[in-house]
Amino acid sequence: PPGSTALMSSGLVPEAAGEEFLFSIDGMRCAACVSKIERAVTQVRGVSAASVNLMSKALRVSAASGFGGEEAVLEAVRSVGYE
């Protein structure tokens, strides 16, 4: 119906407007590395989601518009032993 939020086929509600950031991460070797980084980054204020791709060594971060916390994300990554 008009005015309602439809669920996408994946079952996820579409995200509100925000920003997405992509970071390159060195030193990851396994799925445990991925989990450790994702947990640390999702604790950063303003981050709504974090997803690491082990093969491409990439971290994708979704955050609220006007986030401005890129350095906090990098610090979270460093705090768990990665660059």
Q: Per residue in 30-77, pLDDT tens?
A: 999 999 999 999 999 999 999 999 999 999 999 988 888 999 999 999
Quickly state the pLDDT bin for 14 (edges 50, 70, 90): very low
Please state the φ and ψ torsions of residue 69, each to the nearest 5 degrees: -110, 30
pTM greater than 0.85: no
| Residue bearing tokens 């204020």 | 45
Has residue 6 got a pLDDT over 70? no
Cα 11 from Cα 71, distance rounded (Å): 32
Over residues 9-18, the mean pLDDT reads: 46
Torsion sign over Cα 24, 27, 29, 31: negative
pLDDT band of residue 4 (cuts 50, 70, 90) is very low
Largest CA distance in the chain: 48
